[in-house]
């Protein structure tokens, strides 16, 4: 059925490709469209009939993820590998160590439970609670708490003393350098938690090749 569009030209609707075609070209288009084009059953796009198989293989044929072995359509493979694959590597927000996504939650539970000393107030704070601690005790800006981790102090070995340029630095809200006993406890805590997180991570990584997460 012919219709007049906003430009004043008469158009006719092609039932095969479901497009409005200028009426003056409709007969030629209709013959060409039915003979040479077909609708893709996956994406509903009109593709050349002679290239329909090529189009399907290029965009829609199942592809196997090289990490987890899951079959996904080829057009979604990149998104799967980067955002959804349980075997992709993701950095832990607490230690920046790369962990398989499937084990990130368990790793973060252990890693986030580690405590580190807040330099301004000398309190030991769990890593997962550090942001709340900073807001509650040091304000949202200006005097935000600084942990020993942010000074890259050793976590599992090395000198038991806090470097002088850190321990004696004048920081907002600081009560002065922590006592020697506190520093010794700090390094002992680093040693224990460092070994614990290393063992936990090795266990997670060893389980990966032999026990894939259920899809």
86-99 confidence digits (pLDDT tens): 999 999 999 989 99
Helical spans, DSSP H, in 46-126: 52-59, 77-79, 104-111
Tell whether 102 is covered by a domain: no
When mean pLDDT is compared across 23-27, 41-45, 63-67, 162-166, the lowest value belongs to 162-166
168 and 198 belong to one structural domain = yes
7: its two tokens:
């430009």
Confidence tier at 109 by pLDDT (50, 70, 90): very high
The DSSP call for residue 118 is B
Tell me: the pLDDT tens digits for 150-196?
A: 544 444 333 333 333 333 333 344 444 444 445 566 666 777 777 77
**Confidence tier at 73 by pLDDT (50, 70, 90):** confident
If asked whether residues 117 and 200 sit together in one domain, one would say yes
Against a cut of 0.85, is the pTM above it? no
Give the pair of three-digit tokens for residue 178. Answer: 């922590």
Residues 169 and 197 occupy one common structural domain: yes
Query: Strand, helix or coil at 108?
Result: helix
Residue range(s) defining the domain that contains residue 145:
107-210
Say if 28 falls within a structural domain: yes
For residues 33 and 81, membership in a common domain is answered with no
Do both 176 and 86 map to the same domain? no
127 and 190 in a common domain: yes
Is there a single domain that holds both residue 140 and residue 188? yes
* Number of domains within the chain: 3
Q: Is residue 52 part of a domain?
A: no
* Nearest alpha-carbon partner for 39 in 28, 47, 31: 47
Residues 71 and 125 placed together within one structural domain of the fold = no
Residues 69 and 141 in one domain: no
Place of tokens 């490709």: 17
Indicate whether 26 pLDDT > 60: yes
196 lies in some domain: yes
The answer to whether position 6 is within a domain reads: yes
**What is d(CA 14, CA 123) in angstroms, rounded to the nearest whole number?**
74
């Amino acid at each position: 059925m012919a219709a007049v569009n906003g430009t004043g030209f008469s158009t006719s609707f092609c039932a095969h490709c479901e497009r409005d075609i200028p009426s003056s070209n409709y007969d030629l288009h209709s013959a060409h469209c039915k003979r040479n084009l077909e609708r893709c059953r996956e994406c509903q796009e009109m593709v050349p009939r002679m290239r329909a198989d090529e189009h399907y293989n290029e965009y829609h044929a199942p592809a196997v993820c090289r990490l987890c072995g899951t079959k996904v359509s080829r057009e979604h493979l990149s998104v799967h590998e980067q955002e959804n694959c349980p075997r992709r590597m993701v950095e832990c927000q607490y230690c920046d160590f790369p962990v398989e996504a499937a084990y990130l939650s368990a790793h973060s539970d252990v890693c986030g439970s580690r405590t580190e000393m807040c330099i301004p107030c000398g309190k030991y704070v769990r890593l997962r609670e550090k942001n709340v601690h900073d807001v509650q005790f040091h304000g949202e800006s200006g005097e935000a708490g600084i942990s020993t981790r942010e000074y890259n102090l050793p976590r599992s070995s090395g000198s038991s003393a806090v470097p002088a340029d850190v321990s004696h630095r004048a920081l907002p809200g600081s009560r002065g350098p922590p006592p020697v006993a506190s520093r010794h406890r700090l390094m002992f805590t680093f040693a224990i938690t460092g070994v614990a997180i290393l063992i936990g991570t090795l266990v997670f990584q060893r389980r990966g090749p032999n026990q894939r997460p259920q899809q």
